[in-house]
Amino acid sequence: MSSESGIDDISSSLIPPVEKTDDDDDDSEQESEKIVIDEMLTRYCGEFGLWQIKHFVLTCSAWALEAFHTMVMIFADREPSWRCLDSSGSGCLLGSNSQSGSVCDLVPGSWEWIGGSSASTISEWGLLCGDKYKVGLAQSGFFAGCMVGAGIFGHLSDSFLGRKGSLTTVCVLNAIFGCLTALSPTYWFYAVLRFLTGLSTGGVGLCCFVLATEPIGPSARGAVGMSTFYFFSGGIVMLSGIAYLFQSWRSLYIASTMPSIIYLVAFLPFISESPRWYLVRGKVDQAMKVMHNIAKGNGKKIPTGVILALDDECNDKNSNEGYSSRAELMLTASASELIQGPMTRSFQTKDGTKDAAARGSLIDVIKSPVTRIRLLLTIAINLVTCIVYYGLSLNVVNLKTNLYISVLINAVAEMPAFAITAILLDRFGRKPLAIGTMWFSGIFCLIGSMVSNSGAGKVLRMFCGVLGIFGMAGTYNLLFIYTAELFPTVVRNAALGCATQAAQMGAILAPLVVVMGGGLPFAVFAACGIIGGLFAFYLPETLNRPLYDTMAGIEEGEARIVRDSA
């Protein structure tokens, strides 16, 4: 053996040649596998296991807090019963039927409030007769605050505060403003504080909805996300009991605010920040920590080397992969996307490279003949829906029946409406269901407007109100999905923002309708329900139709459908 060959042998044994094979490539990829959150939930963590159930219940309990702060006005701003002091000579002319009449024409001092002047804001500040409009003004101010707060906290939940930080902030503000409201020295202080309470309340449902649904896997996200409405209705049921126990409006505000403090202390420490928010903020380690907690809570384990990445970093993955329905895809929208404008998205060209981002705005929606009419119709439908939904909820004060039982029955009636709508949504389609639920509500409101509010008529009118809110709660439940499917991806958020603002405007108008009293509110609600159903006639059905991405795509697709049907 030559030295040269010996050297070769020695070197070859010490430093064997390294040959890179396809298998080695696969192993290295597995060691540092980057996947999106939905894929990690599906493959390793569990889509809706014990961890998500616990987190969902804890987070969505905040919906009950929103119900407390929203519907407390029904009891705090009610008109209490009253009685004559001396029907023979003090000017109380209504005699034994005084409790069913009006006090506007009576001599001051000839009658008194049953339960004292502290029973409600109306009795304490004399919000009757010429000042009755102030009741509706304060209530409308609350919903105006909700509209502003939804915009503010929707943005903050996507930026530096995060979902949990925003939810914590709104709960703190609700606790502060709720307690201060109970100390209001005058009506105008009360009205301002109700606006501020609305400002914080408007962010509660928005933040907890996103925080509750983002850690849930795609196959369960749609059904679970639509279940959040039950917590709001359940909150109204609990509020009825609280209001029955605390008859004074000031003590009621304190009692309805205490749950916000309890939630801050007993619930929020056990709620996790959204891993999606961590990821988009570049905090991959924190996002992975949450994902490991989810897997551990569900009895699973994430393999070593698997890490999270944004969808842009996983170019080989289809951005819509994993969603079992378009409804679930809609529920992945972040909070601020419902109220903010243009949306930007990158698309793949035919050769596989990324093209310039497709952009859209509200101007594009208005310019297009296809989406322009859809936008106007959805704005109108969302407006009238919220007028009826919130109007019927507040109108129980005009029914002259047991207020606590009426509110409880209305809240319970909403729950089966949510379930039935969710079941029928993919069976009968969006359009027939929207028309049917609005007309169902409108017809019973029309009957209620023609019934006398005395004797057996009171019960019949209350029954009509219950069925009216049943139908409109069903409409309220399906409108988000339906509206989202009517517009392409690049302008979907802008269109949803307009529809959401229109809905909030409806909530602002609802109290002003209620203060009219008598059968007039029912007549307005009937007109809104019937007209809303007529508007829905001119919308297209979206069941089993493509979910378009661009304005050109929806225009071409709709033109093709027209040609095929001709």
**What was the pLDDT predicted at 101?**
55
Per-residue DSSP letter, 517: -
Residue with the bigger pLDDT between 170 and 218: it is 170
Domains along the chain? Answer: 34-81+113-312 (1.20.1250.20), 362-560 (1.20.1250.20)
pLDDT in tens, 534-560: 999 999 998 888 777 678 888 888 888
Whole-angstrom distance, CA of residue 365 vs CA of residue 379: 13
Contacts of residue 292, Cβ cutoff 8 Å, sequence gap at least 6: 302
State yes or no: pLDDT of 267 exceeds 50: yes
Contact 201, 146 (CB under 8 A): yes
Q: Which residue type is seen at 297?
A: G
**What was the pLDDT predicted at 266?**
94
How far is residue 465 CA from its own chain's centroid?
A: 22
What's 64-76 look like in SS3?
HHHHHHHHHHHHH
pLDDT in tens, 85-116: 765 544 565 544 444 456 777 777 777 888 78
Specify the pairing of strand 307-308 against strand 34-35: parallel
**What was the pLDDT predicted at 116?**
80
Whole-angstrom distance, CA of residue 352 vs CA of residue 336: 31
State yes or no: pLDDT of 423 exceeds 90: no
Whole-angstrom distance, CA of residue 254 vs CA of residue 74: 15
**What was the pLDDT predicted at 130?**
84
Q: How many CA atoms lie within 13 A of 392 on its CB side?
A: 37
Buried b (16+ CB within 10 A) or exposed e, 428-451: ebbbebbbbbbbbbbbbbbbbbeb
Contact 124, 249 (CB under 8 A): yes
Contacts 24+ apart (CB under 8 A), 288-291: 290/215, 291/37, 291/40, 291/41, 291/45
Whole-angstrom distance, CA of residue 473 vs CA of residue 467: 10
Query: 236: part of which helix (H) or strand (E)?
Result: helix 229-245
Contacts of residue 182, Cβ cutoff 8 Å, sequence gap at least 6: 250, 251, 253, 254, 257
Per-residue DSSP letter, 18: P
- Residue 360 pairs in a beta bridge with 343
**pLDDT confidence bin for 2, thresholds 50/70/90:** very low
Contact 205, 500 (CB under 8 A): no
Contact 346, 357 (CB under 8 A): yes
State the Cα angle at 536 between 533 and 537, rounded to 5°. 95
What's the whole-model pTM score? 0.82
The rounded mean pLDDT for the chain is 82
Which two tokens mark 289? 């920590």
Query: 307: part of which helix (H) or strand (E)?
Result: strand 307-308
Three-class DSSP category at 343: strand
Whole-angstrom distance, CA of residue 165 vs CA of residue 137: 31
Whole-angstrom distance, CA of residue 362 vs CA of residue 359: 11
Asked which of 1-10, 276-285, 379-388 is least confident by mean pLDDT, the reply is: 1-10
**pLDDT confidence bin for 31, thresholds 50/70/90:** low
Return the top range by mean pLDDT from 31-40, 308-317, 507-516: 507-516
pLDDT in tens, 473-496: 999 888 878 887 888 877 777 787
**Largest Cα–Cα separation, the chain:** 137
